């Protein structure tokens, strides 16, 4: 089923909001740009609509696709609402802020603050990777601090990748898209479902009995950092698990980046979950080691001038 047939139409009223347009869709949700009424400020609205489990009726209700999918749909709807409620309690300047959540159309909705900016994937594509060590050490520590706050609330993101990292004017990062968010005290049987992003999801996300935890998000952070360097995502974890041909970042990029940064990225990208940093604190401690031999100042593309001085994406979109 295509996105147009599932999405709510422009002008649709939802609670105190009106839909302007569809922004994106994933395995379990559709994301809209909307406006709050009567003030008129922009918001992002995420609707629980698992395309494989449900359909939209003519009256806008979201219903299970069949009797066989009913139990999974209802369980997922309950978890989506619970996790929206949990996210609303997470306050951090580098995590998108959830301001409201409500039930309507026999499904649930999460409302988030809209912020101007552009995602990290756009910068990687523009510069074909090669983003500077200064860039990496400026953008990722605040993101990691936000991720630690998320983990402190016993939540996992489970879909960190460049497309879900938003850079606001001035370069301040924001972690987006919590469609896969998961309470990590729960077993895998209680998850909405597995969200896989090739190159960024570690092996435990492919395995039905895989044990996910903070180390799972750390793998995705390492993969995202390597993509900033190399311009493309690392080899898929499933392939690596079968036959790992991914060369260490330290071996490939040591002339352009510090040993300490590259070793930390390689540690995060260990295929075996038990061999990775087990917490954000462990990862940050490794990243913050004193640099014995700083990389040349001109190594890598420093995009901060472009962020500060060339902001066509901050005007109305």
Look over the chain and give the mean of its residue pLDDT values, rounded to a whole number: 88
Cβ-based neighbours of 235, under 8 Å, separated by 6 or more? 199, 244, 245, 246
Ranking 3-17, 89-103, 175-189 by mean pLDDT, the lowest is: 175-189
Calculate mean pLDDT across residues 211-224: 96
Q: Which two tokens stand for residue 206?
A: 């492919």
What secondary structure letter does DSSP report for 251?
Answer: H
Quick check: helix, strand or coil at residue 212? coil
Span 280-317, pLDDT tens digits: 999 999 999 999 988 766 566 655 544 544 333 322 22
Span 32-80, pLDDT tens digits: 999 999 999 999 999 999 988 999 999 999 999 999 999 999 998 998 8
Query: The whole model's pTM is what?
Result: 0.85
Work out whether strand 107-113 and strand 42-48 pair parallel, antiparallel, or are unpaired.
antiparallel
Span 238-271, pLDDT tens digits: 999 999 999 999 999 999 999 999 999 999 999 9
Let me know: does 265 contact 287? Beta carbons within 8 Å.
no
CA–centroid distance for 163 within its chain: 7
Whether the pLDDT of residue 28 is over 50: the answer is yes
Whether the pLDDT of residue 185 is over 80: the answer is no
Let me know: does 136 contact 225? Beta carbons within 8 Å.
yes
Delineate the domains of the chain, giving CATH numbers in brackets.
15-113 (3.30.200.20), 118-308 (1.10.510.10)
How far apart CA 311 and CA 286 sit, in angstroms, is 34
Quick check: helix, strand or coil at residue 14? strand
State residue 308's pLDDT score.
45
Longest dimension (CA), the chain: 64
How far apart CA 25 and CA 134 sit, in angstroms, is 33
State residue 311's pLDDT score.
34
């Amino acid at each position: 089923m295509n996105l147009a047939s599932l999405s709510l139409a422009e002008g649709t009223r939802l609670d105190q909001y009106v839909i302007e347009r569809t922004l994106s869709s994933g395995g379990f949700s559709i994301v809209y740009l909307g406006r709050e009424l009567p003030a008129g400020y922009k918001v992002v609205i995420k609707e629980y609509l698992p395309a494989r489990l449900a359909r939209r009726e003519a009256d806008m209700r979201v219903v299970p696709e069949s009797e066989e999918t009913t139990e999974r749909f209802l369980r997922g709807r309950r978890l989506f609402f619970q996790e929206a409620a949990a996210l609303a309690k997470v306050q951090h300047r580098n995590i998108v802020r959830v301001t409201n959540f409500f039930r309507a159309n026999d499904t649930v909705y999460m409302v988030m603050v809209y912020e101007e900016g552009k995602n990290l994937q756009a910068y990687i594509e523009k510069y074909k990777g090669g983003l500077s060590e200064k860039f990496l050490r400026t953008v990722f520590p605040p993101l990691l601090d936000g991720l630690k706050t998320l983990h402190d609330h016993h939540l996992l993101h489970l879909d960190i990748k460049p497309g879900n990292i938003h850079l606001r004017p001035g370069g301040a990062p924001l972690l987006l898209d919590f469609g896969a968010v998961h309470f990590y005290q729960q077993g895998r049987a209680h998850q909405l479902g597995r969200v896989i992003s090739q190159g960024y999801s570690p092996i435990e996300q492919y395995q039905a009995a895989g044990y996910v935890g903070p180390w799972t998000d750390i793998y995705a952070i390492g993969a995202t950092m390597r993509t900033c360097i190399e311009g493309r995502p690392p080899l898929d974890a499933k392939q690596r698990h079968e036959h790992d041909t991914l060369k260490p970042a330290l071996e490939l990029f040591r002339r352009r980046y510090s040993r300490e940064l590259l070793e930390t990225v390689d540690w995060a990208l260990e295929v075996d979950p038990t061999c990775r940093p087990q917490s954000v604190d462990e990862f940050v401690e490794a990243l913050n080691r004193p640099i014995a031999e700083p990389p040349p100042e001109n190594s890598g593309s420093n995009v901060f001038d472009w962020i500060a001085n060339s902001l066509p994406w901050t005007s109305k979109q």
